[in-house]
Amino acid sequence: MAGRRVLRGLALLAAATLFAVSCGDDGGGGGGGGGGEGEESNIIRFTFAPDPAWDWVKDQGILETMEQESGFRIIQLATWDEWATFAGGHADVVSTGTYETPLLEEQGIETVTFGQFNMNKDVLVTAHPEYKTASDFPAGCKIATESVTGNTIIWGSLINEFDGREVAEGSDDIGIVTADYQVIPNLLREDEACAGILDPTQVIPDMASGDLTVMYDGLSASQLYGETIVPGHEGVLSNAFVSRAAWFDANPEAAAFFLEVWDCAMVQWAEHRDEIIDTYPQHFAVEDESEAQFMKDYFENTFDWFVESPYLTDEWIEGERPVFDLVKDALEEIPEDAEFPRHEVMTPPDDSPCPEGT
């Protein structure tokens, strides 16, 4: 079955990453203390990529106030390779895609997904406006992407589902070429790739000028899923909050505090979005006022990928479940009898614990 070959080798690459980081692990977890996986601790080691909402709650003094009042402390391990940091045992909680969690499970890491933060924002972009979907690609062309893992997993799965096309390294159908985000637009213009998987913040000038076209009617992977597979669902998370099962079971109060902090961050984002963009332009790759305004308009009129609340619901979990099925169908290394990763619903407090920012 061609679909089972889509993105073949991703799970093997993930296994190699896990092996490499675990070989360097001293068993103590690293990263600033805290208990072991199944031990109670007031320290939460959290690894994730740099983020504007997180910077805002720190700089506004909100995080510090909440930590002082609760007795818990969140240790930030900011990295662009948070998946490997968590896999190597150096963090209690990771921010990762729901389409990546099955790879952790298949490497023997029992996980719990207990919160949410960002929906997948990446879009499929082309220099050929006649390409509306991947079904229009000529055989043998390539998709440019920053990594063969991550967002390539979900886009490859969606392309397999909707267009019946195979996306894989070395494929005779649709191949993959990896490059930095900044390089991908040039690859598209020079016909080195027929399309690219891109974070919209990285191609603001190209999108604003119309130099590059967003395929699938301008929809991100999350929006495409929510319009066609599970109508109305707001998910396909690029940033879900995932912990090891042993840590979650031993630290329910710490997990609850963690979500309370992120609930405050989401409130702040909703109330101060434009101000946050102006305060941290580097997080949105904007370099002048016009680009900042384009980004603000994009959030307002096209897609705001920040969720309203980090708390999961049973209904949401059922809506996200088919993401697992898409990934399982696309990755031959995930067995047919693999089970949907564990998700837990946590109840928000009756009263908002959010302090006022400075």
pLDDT digits (tens, 9 = 90+) for 203-253: 887 877 778 999 999 999 999 999 989 999 999 999 999 999 999 999 999
For residue 11, pLDDT beyond 80: no
Most confident segment among 179-188, 257-266, 326-335, 346-355: 257-266
- pLDDT one-digit tens code per residue, 282-302: 999 888 999 999 999 999 999
Q: 9-13, 259-263, 282-286, 316-320: which range is least confident on average?
A: 9-13
Report the distance separating Cα 42 and Cα 60, nearest Å.
22
Confidence check: pLDDT of 30 > 50: no
Q: Which fold has domain 123-219?
A: D-Maltodextrin-Binding Protein; domain 2 (3.40.190)
Residue 45 β-bridge partners: 75
Identify the pLDDT of residue 37.
Answer: 66
Q: What average pLDDT does this structure show over 134-146?
A: 95
Angle between helical axes of 252-279 and 52-59 (0-180°, round to 10): 100
Domains 2-119+236-343 and 123-219 share a fold: yes
The pTM score is 0.85
Confidence band for 351, pLDDT divided at 50, 70 and 90 = confident
pLDDT of 24 above 50 = no
- Dihedral of CA atoms 159, 163, 167, 170 in degrees, nearest 10, equals -170
Residue 79 has pLDDT above 70, yes or no: yes
In the chain, where the domains are located? 2-119+236-343, 123-219
The kind and range of the H/E element at 112 are: strand 111-119
**Domain 2-119+236-343 fold:** D-Maltodextrin-Binding Protein; domain 2 (3.40.190)
160's tokens: 């397999």
Asked if the model's pLDDT at residue 314 lies above 90, the reply is yes
